[in-house]
């Protein structure tokens, strides 16, 4: 399959995305158990906690506690998310990796719901964060467009609007003394289809051929894996995913909000198509089962139940030999 990338990087979003959306109270030790198990699978980036307002996201009130309990392995980014300057300062006081970056929400209404501020007010505040990164010598290489494929509140978003948001991210980075190398397109509201992936990435590539693209897809409407495959075909080499399909955005106004595409299913599909992930799919499957124990309910991941083809081929070979 010469038209697919040789290798992709999958960043794990399960703990952060998953814990924030579960109704059950999960003990700190269980959260840490899942994070530490994920660190044994080849993953290089694990989003662990969100430094957000505990009144808005009570399940993240233990962020500091979880962050300090993780026994970090070298070579892995155990990342913390933050949404405003206050959160960033909490994150920087903690032991976890903090990504410098610039974030622009596509839809103004989703921005107000998700982070409590309009797109332009959020940008004013982010200038403080960008200054903080500059002062601390932290790199700012990626811009993130939140909700880039459509909005449950505003409806369809034009490609023109998204290109403006990308331009805004690039400009604000330059203003702060940085140059972005890539744009992450996120879809917490689950609007992306293979066609819209191709359309939007095509438009961004046409305007900024040098920018790398990263995709953060949710499987809200069943199109996540097909959209991810469309991304692969467009040459995207960076994807977010969530172990066992954990997660869902609490502010996306979607009944039964659904998590990211499933880490082990996506890694399995990539490896079967000759796209290297650097991940151990068998171990990911073990960790997906741990994730089900930790949240106390079945999760939507498929290959953890269906089994890998490697396993099926081994059983077939054993049958043939017997």
296 is an interface residue for its own copies by CB under 8 A: no
Measured CA to CA, the distance from residue 29 to residue 223 in angstroms comes to: 34
Name which position in 71, 222, 321, 322 contacts its own copies (CB under 8 A): 222
Q: Interface residues for its own copies in 82-141 (CB under 8 A)?
A: 109
215 is an interface residue for its own copies by CB under 8 A: no
Name which position in 254, 280, 283, 289 contacts its own copies (CB under 8 A): 254
Binding part of the chain for its own copies, among 11-19, 27-35, 125-133, 254-262 by CB under 8 A, reads: 254-262
User: How many other CB atoms are found less than 10 A from the CB of residue 73?
Assistant: 10
Q: Interface residues for its own copies in 189-208 (CB under 8 A)?
A: 189-191, 193-196, 198
Measured CA to CA, the distance from residue 100 to residue 169 in angstroms comes to: 13
41 is an interface residue for its own copies by CB under 8 A: no
Q: Is 151 tagged catalytic?
A: no
Across the beta sheet with 212-217, the strand order is 97-98, 77-82, 45-51, 9-12, 238-241, 212-217, 182-187, 142-146, 102-105
The H or E element containing residue 290 is: helix 281-295
Measured CA to CA, the distance from residue 107 to residue 18 in angstroms comes to: 24
User: What tokens were used for 10?
Assistant: 């999958």
Measured CA to CA, the distance from residue 204 to residue 250 in angstroms comes to: 29
The minimum distance between CB 303 and its own copies, in angstroms, equals 4
161 is an interface residue for its own copies by CB under 8 A: no
56-125-164 Cα angle (round to 5)? 105
Name which position in 55, 256, 321, 322 contacts its own copies (CB under 8 A): 256
Name which position in 24, 131, 136, 305 contacts its own copies (CB under 8 A): 305
Using the minimum distance from each CB to its own copies, give the nearer residue, 59 or 223: 223
The minimum distance between CB 94 and its own copies, in angstroms, equals 34
Tell me the pairing of strands 212-217 and 182-187: parallel
Measured CA to CA, the distance from residue 250 to residue 188 in angstroms comes to: 10
Name which position in 73, 93, 131, 313 contacts its own copies (CB under 8 A): 313
Which residues contact its own copies (rule: CB under 8 A)? Answer: 1, 4, 109, 150-156, 189-191, 193-196, 198, 219-226, 228-230, 254-256, 258, 262, 265-266, 268-269, 272-274, 300-303, 305-309, 312-313, 315-317, 319-320
Q: Which residues are catalytic?
A: 249
């Amino acid at each position: 399959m010469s038209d697919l990338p040789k290798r992709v990087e999958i960043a794990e979003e399960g703990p952060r995305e998953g814990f924030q959306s579960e109704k059950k109270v999960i003990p700190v030790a269980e959260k840490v158990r899942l994070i530490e198990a994920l660190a044994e699978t080849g993953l290089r980036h694990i989003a662990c906690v969100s430094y957000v307002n505990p009144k808005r996201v009570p399940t993240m009130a233990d962020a500091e506690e979880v962050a300090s309990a993780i026994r970090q392995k070298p070579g892995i980014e155990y990342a913390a998310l933050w949404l405003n300057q206050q959160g960033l300062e909490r994150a920087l006081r903690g032991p976890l990796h903090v990504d410098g970056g610039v974030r622009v929400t596509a839809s103004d209404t989703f921005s107000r719901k998700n982070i409590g501020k309009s797109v332009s007010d959020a940008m004013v505040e982010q200038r403080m964060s960008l200054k903080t990164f500059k002062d601390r010598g932290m790199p700012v290489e990626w811009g993130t467009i939140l909700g880039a494929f459509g909005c449950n509140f505003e409806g369809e978003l034009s490609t023109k609007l998204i290109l403006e948001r990308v331009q805004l991210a690039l400009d604000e980075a330059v203003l702060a003394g940085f140059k972005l190398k890539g744009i992450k397109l996120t879809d917490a509201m689950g609007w992306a289809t293979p066609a819209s992936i191709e359309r939007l990435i095509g438009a961004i590539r046409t305007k900024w051929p040098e920018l790398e693209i990263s995709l953060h897809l949710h499987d809200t409407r069943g199109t996540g894996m097909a959209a991810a495959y469309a991304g692969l075909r467009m040459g995207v080499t960076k994807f977010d995913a969530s172990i066992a399909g954990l997660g869902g955005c609490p502010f996306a106004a979607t009944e039964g909000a659904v998590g990211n595409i499933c880490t082990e299913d996506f890694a399995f599909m990539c490896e079967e198509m000759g796209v290297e992930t650097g991940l151990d799919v068998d171990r990911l499957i073990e960790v997906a089962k741990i994730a089900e124990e930790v949240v106390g309910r079945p999760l939507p991941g498929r290959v953890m139940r269906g089994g890998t083809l490697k396993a099926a081929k081994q059983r077939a070979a054993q049958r043939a030999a017997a």
